[in-house]
Structures are given as C-alpha cells and as structure tokens.
C-alpha cells in the first residue's frame, strides 16, 4: 500500500511596497520638522509608531516567511529603529513622567552611529538589489552620520541642515520606489524603473 503525502504551500504577497511606504511617510513627516516647516514632535509619534514601526516590522515578518533576506533584515532593523525613536520622543514629551536630570540625550547620537556602521554593509547589498534602494541607503548614511554629529554637538547647524535634506530626499525617492514596486508587482511587469543592479558583486 502506497502512502500519499500532500503538501500545502502558503503563499504570501510581497510586502516590500508597504514597508518602503512606511519608511517614506515617517521620513517625510519628520523632515518637515527638521526643515522648520512644522514644530515639535508630539504629532510625529503616531506616524513613527504605525508607519515607521508597525508597517516596516509587518513587512519584515512577511519577507522572513517569503525567504526574502534583504527585505526581512533591512525593514525589520529600521522598523525597530523607529520604535526606539518614537519612545525617545515620548520620553521628551513627558509621556513617562519627568525626564531625570542625569538623562544624556547624546546616547541617541551613538545609536545613530551604530546604525550607520550596519548600514554601510546594507548599502553594498542595496546597490545589488536596484539603484533606487542604493541611493536611499546612501542618503540614510548621510542622515545617520549627520544626526549623530548634530546630537553630539559637532557643527549642529551644518549637520542639522544635512540631516534635514537627506531625510527629505529619502522620503521622495522612497515614495517613488514604493509606488514603482506596487505597480510593477500588481501588473506583473516593469512599468516604472528602479534601476538595474550594479553587478559589482556576484552571488554564489
């Protein structure tokens, strides 16, 4: 008697467009504050939690299931980054009570440098995904480095402007990339170009 084995495969949709849109929206709103177009951080917190955090982490979980290594790691890392940033803003706005006198905000600057080190490696892989992702990662490097130096008090005016423009450009390119991924995936063919991989490093 031959035993038949039936396999069930669960197919998940590509959530990259959602994750990239989440990054684009929160950087767009946060850049409005850095540019001086808006003030304060209270109303940045919801966008950081739901778009910067939940949308990217959700997309990362789906990418893990789809064995999409790049999207899973990168979206997951930045989703957690925005959880931390939203928490910092909440602390500054007194959501958890008065801020202790010994609180040292410069620790956030070192966190930015930590992400900067990680993103150096991610940028290499991003250019082998497509040029749009590569450019976004270069701008993220500028943003993280500028924020780190600004928070540590190194030429805060200069690095504040660099951070503002880098974040604003990240959001604009990200909106295009998320829209392109959405349309290209929906129609099953490339409608909007993202730029071919650089081809510097070949995968094994």
Handedness of CA 152, 80, 118, 184 (dihedral sign): negative
Separation between Cα atoms, residue 42 and residue 123, nearest integer Å = 31
Question: CB neighbours of 11 closer than 8 A, spacing ≥ 6?
Answer: none
Mean residue pLDDT across the chain: 94
Pair 127, 196: CB distance under 8 Å: no
Separation between Cα atoms, residue 172 and residue 204, nearest integer Å = 34
- Number of neighbouring beta carbons within 10 Å of residue 93: 14
**Tens digit of pLDDT for each residue in 35-47?**
999 999 999 999 9
16 or 14, greater pLDDT: 16
Pair 177, 146: CB distance under 8 Å: no
Pair 72, 27: CB distance under 8 Å: no
Whether 7 has a pLDDT exceeding 80, the answer reads: no
Separation between Cα atoms, residue 16 and residue 9, nearest integer Å = 21
Is pTM beyond 0.85? Reply is yes
**Tens digit of pLDDT for each residue in 49-106?**
999 999 999 999 999 999 999 999 999 999 999 999 999 999 999 999 999 989 999 9
Separation between Cα atoms, residue 127 and residue 133, nearest integer Å = 7
Pair 49, 86: CB distance under 8 Å: yes
Q: Is 66 helix (H, G, I), strand (E, B) or coil?
A: coil
Enter the DSSP assignment of 42. Answer: G
Pair 166, 174: CB distance under 8 Å: no
């Amino acid at each position: 008697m031959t035993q038949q084995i039936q396999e069930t495969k669960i197919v998940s949709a590509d959530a990259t467009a959602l994750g990239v849109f989440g990054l684009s929206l929160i950087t767009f709103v946060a850049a409005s504050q850095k540019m001086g177009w808006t003030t304060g951080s209270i109303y940045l917190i919801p966008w950081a939690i739901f778009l910067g955090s939940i949308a990217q982490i959700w997309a990362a979980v789906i990418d893990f299931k789809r064995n999409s290594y790049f999207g899973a790691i990168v979206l997951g890392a930045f989703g957690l980054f925005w959880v931390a940033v939203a928490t910092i803003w909440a602390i500054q706005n007194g959501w958890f009570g008065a801020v202790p006198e010994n609180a040292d905000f410069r620790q956030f600057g070192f966190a930015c440098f930590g992400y900067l080190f990680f993103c150096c490696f991610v940028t290499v892989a991003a250019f082998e995904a497509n040029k749009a992702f590569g450019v976004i990662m270069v701008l993220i490097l500028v943003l993280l480095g500028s924020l780190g130096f600004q928070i540590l008090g190194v030429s805060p005016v200069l690095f504040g402007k660099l951070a503002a423009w880098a974040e604003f450009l990240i959001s604009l390119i990200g909106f295009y990339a998320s829209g392109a991924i959405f349309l290209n995936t929906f129609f099953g063919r490339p409608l909007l170009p993202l730029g071919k991989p650089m081809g510097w490093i070949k995968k094994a």
